[in-house]
Amino acid sequence: MPSLENANLQLYISDDALTVVLEDRRRNRAWQLDPRHTACFRYGDQDTPIPLGHATVAKHSDRILVRHHLHDCPIEFAWSLHSDHVAVTLSTNVPDIEYITLPGSFTPAPGSKPATAPQAQASPCLGSASLLPADGFRLAIPFYQGVLLSPRSNDWHAIAGHHGHYGLTMSMFGLLTPHAGLLVTHDSDANWKASFGQSANRLFAYFRHQHCPVDGWVDATVRLYPTDPNLPSLCKRYRARLIERNRFVTWDQKIAAKPIVRDLFGSVFAFIGYNHTTDLDYVHSAQAFKNLGFDSAFYFPARFCCYSDNFKMGGDDPIHLSDSQIDQLHAIPGTHLSPWGWIIEALDEPTAPHRRRIFRHDQHHQPIPNWKIDDFQWYWACTPYQIDHLKHRLAADMQAMDWLHFDVNAMLPGMPCFNTDHAHHAHKPMGRRDDLRWTQQLFSPPTVGNRVVSSEGLSDHYAPFYDVGTTKMLPPAEGLAQSTLVPMSSLVLHDSCIHDWWEVHNYNANPGFPLADLPHNLGRQGSGLPHLKAALDALHGYPPSLFPFGKQYAWIDIQKRTTYSFLIRLEDPPVQEAIAAALPVAKLHKTIGPLEMIDFELLSDDGALQRSTFADGTRVVANLADKTHHLKNLGPLDKHHWRAIYS
């Protein structure tokens, strides 16, 4: 049985590759690859796994090579040992395959390392029949803010990409037992999806490495880091990995490049709707909002920054505040204004045939349709041409905007473009990696200048380049212990990037975007529940998000793409309730916003009572349950309430 070892780790792979064990010598624990989750998936048939089949195993110097043959084409995994982790690299040229599991799902191997090298099918650590049951085994998945998963009574399966809505915010996940943890990271920013869930009463999680139709099987390395058995250890090791790769930029560094970033701390994000209306006095409303006590407000959108505003939403024109309104708003201290940066896609209008030249093309050299409202159809625009358009607008009608919110740019971890008329990618197809780099450039100071930048979708590969990523979830209404919302994004990125709510999922309830359950009871999304959102933002260390006034469209029938609109006023009772919940959160954020979150704990068996700790010693305790919890030495904490304890 080939093996690799050093002072901290030992790796065993059986001669048939059915048994792979990683021994954590420091903690005297082992992790075992579950062979049920090693497979590949054809294009268009991602739900039907194809077993990788027979393998040969050979040790070559400092690596163990595992080679499968699928239709006479080799699929090779190279396992290498490093001081504190094992790396697994995939290489292949297998055709017609979209994903390959890399390497598969690990599970705790019971017992400690035997005194001598184990023999296949002999050691109790190795036999597949002796895999540890799900009891005592937890999965930590950076799904939205992060979720800690426990076993359930039924099997289930989720697939998530590296993006915001129903996705993973970071290229990692973790496995936890009472005695040890295992961090699993992916080196690629663009070419993976994650599978996780429960099968045959066992929790599982693994990466599916994705074939890029332009670049092939690139950046195909996953790393396995044994850690201590707690969530902060998993997240801090991943943070260290980002730092090792020069992928981490602190708030201090961002402020040095863009001084306006300092204004984020203690602020409130104030969405004012996509729709233009004359039924509101925006300046009067903003002044009244300021008088309620917010030091800094980031309003969006004040205008639409898109290729054409020749469309309707809910029967209305897109919002476009006049120069006079913008000047008056900026005269209110602490007011910041952003356009809606909707440049990722463009309308195909007969009056603007030149616009087709920037459309992203698929492999059949056709424009790719995406968003649709009523009868208006948008097509994906190639990213480098988005940069050209934005620079032009920032020198013209968007010059007064002092921050920028982009639509779904950060939701895409790279997207190929096959339009060979595009000089910006050398008249050749562009792969996911290069497209992602263009998006990073789109967010960067050479493009945006001294402006705060946010986008729908929090992703760690964009965190060094922008300041705010959106889309978050609430805990599930039931079963908090099975699906416990935890601040994984905060433990890694808090002193680098803000994790905000999606623009219509504000503290105040609105009629167009009510609460709804996510699949598999992983959590909830929607507007409203201001006290619960305030408790989460205080606990996770982020500013509040409100829809204080404005007009917005929503769906009559999303399948038919038909819309209506609704109006929100500052004096509406849901807005007033949300403001009362948000003010203390904004004041707390003034103190802890720039700081690293250094620790996190669950204080109750149901996972609802939680405590976070920041670098200055500030601790925040929050009760996420629908009942009162009692804290030792601190007394009762009502449902959806929080408390800060300063050092």
Structure confidence by residue, pLDDT tens digits, 283-297: 999 999 999 999 999
Q: In this predicted structure, what is the pLDDT of residue 126?
A: 27
User: To which residue do tokens 């097509």 refer?
Assistant: 379
Beta strand 545-546 with 267-271 is parallel
Q: Indicate the SS3 state at residue 24.
A: strand
* Percentage, residues of the chain above pLDDT 70: 96
For the residues 319-330, what does the mean pLDDT come to? 98
Residue 110 pLDDT > 80, yes or no? no
C-alpha span between 426 and 214 (Å, rounded): 14
Q: Measure the CA angle with vertex 279, ends 275 and 283; round to 5°.
A: 85
Q: In this predicted structure, what is the pLDDT of residue 134?
A: 44
* Residue 14 tokens, joined: 């059986």
- Is 195:148 a contact under the CB 8 Å cutoff? no
C-alpha span between 339 and 327 (Å, rounded): 14
C-alpha span between 392 and 395 (Å, rounded): 5
For the residues 109-132, what does the mean pLDDT come to? 40
Burial of 640 (0-12, 13-18, 19+ CB in 10 A): buried
What are 396-428's pLDDT values in tens digits?
A: 999 999 999 999 999 999 999 999 999 999 999
What are the residues whose beta carbons fall under 8 Å from the beta carbon of 28, sequence distance 6 or more?
Answer: 112, 113
Q: In this predicted structure, what is the pLDDT of residue 237?
A: 98
Q: Indicate the SS3 state at residue 276.
A: coil
Range with the poorest average pLDDT among 117-131, 245-259, 275-289: 117-131
pLDDT band at 123 (very low <50, low <70, confident <90, very high): very low
For the residues 449-464, what does the mean pLDDT come to? 98
pLDDT band at 632 (very low <50, low <70, confident <90, very high): confident
What are 559-612's pLDDT values in tens digits?
A: 999 999 999 999 999 999 999 999 999 999 999 999 999 999 999 999 999 999
Phi/psi zone of residue 270: left (φ > 0), alpha (ψ -120 to 50 degrees), beta? beta
Burial of 69 (0-12, 13-18, 19+ CB in 10 A): middle
CA dihedral of 367, 372, 377, 382, whole degrees rounded to 10: -40
* Residue 242 tokens, joined: 């980002």
C-alpha span between 167 and 161 (Å, rounded): 5
Kindly list the structural domains of the chain, giving each domain's residue range(s) and its CATH number in brackets, ordered by start.
3-244 (2.70.98), 251-635 (3.20.20)
What are the residues whose beta carbons fall under 8 Å from the beta carbon of 575, sequence distance 6 or more?
Answer: 508, 546, 547, 548, 549, 568, 569
- Is 273:551 a contact under the CB 8 Å cutoff? yes
Q: In this predicted structure, what is the pLDDT of residue 119?
A: 40
Can you give the pTM of this predicted structure? 0.95
- Is 613:644 a contact under the CB 8 Å cutoff? no
Q: In this predicted structure, what is the pLDDT of residue 647?
A: 85
pLDDT band at 111 (very low <50, low <70, confident <90, very high): low
For the residues 50-72, what does the mean pLDDT come to? 91
What are the residues whose beta carbons fall under 8 Å from the beta carbon of 378, sequence distance 6 or more?
Answer: 345, 346, 347, 369, 370, 371, 372
Closest C-alpha among 173, 282, 289 to residue 234: 173
For the residues 379-387, what does the mean pLDDT come to? 98
Q: In this predicted structure, what is the pLDDT of residue 114?
A: 40
Report CA torsion sign: 317, 318, 321, 323: negative
Give the count of beta carbons closer than 10 Å to the beta carbon of residue 625.
19
* Residue 49 tokens, joined: 């796994």
- Is 471:144 a contact under the CB 8 Å cutoff? yes
Helix (H) or strand (E) holding 545: strand 545-546
Q: Mean pLDDT for the chain?
A: 94
HSE-CB of 295 using CA atoms within 13 angstroms? 14
Q: Output b/e per residue, 279-305; b: 16+ Cβ within 10 A.
A: ebebbebbeebbeeebebbbbbbbbbb
pLDDT band at 132 (very low <50, low <70, confident <90, very high): very low
C-alpha span between 487 and 478 (Å, rounded): 19
Distance of alpha carbon 308 from the chain centroid:
30
Three-state SS string over 57-117 comes to: EEEECCEEEEEEEECCEEEEEEEEECCCCEEEEEEECCCCEEEEEECCEEEEECCCCCCCC
- Is 248:462 a contact under the CB 8 Å cutoff? no
pLDDT band at 118 (very low <50, low <70, confident <90, very high): very low
Burial of 391 (0-12, 13-18, 19+ CB in 10 A): middle
- Is 538:597 a contact under the CB 8 Å cutoff? no
Please provide the DSSP assignment of 350-384 as one string.
TT-GGGGGGB-B-TTS-B-EEEEETTEEEEEB-HH
* Bridge partners, residue 68, by sequence: 55, 75
Report CA torsion sign: 636, 642, 643, 647: positive
* Residue 565 tokens, joined: 């609109």
Helix (H) or strand (E) holding 389: helix 383-394
For the residues 436-448, what does the mean pLDDT come to? 98
Q: In this predicted structure, what is the pLDDT of residue 135?
A: 54
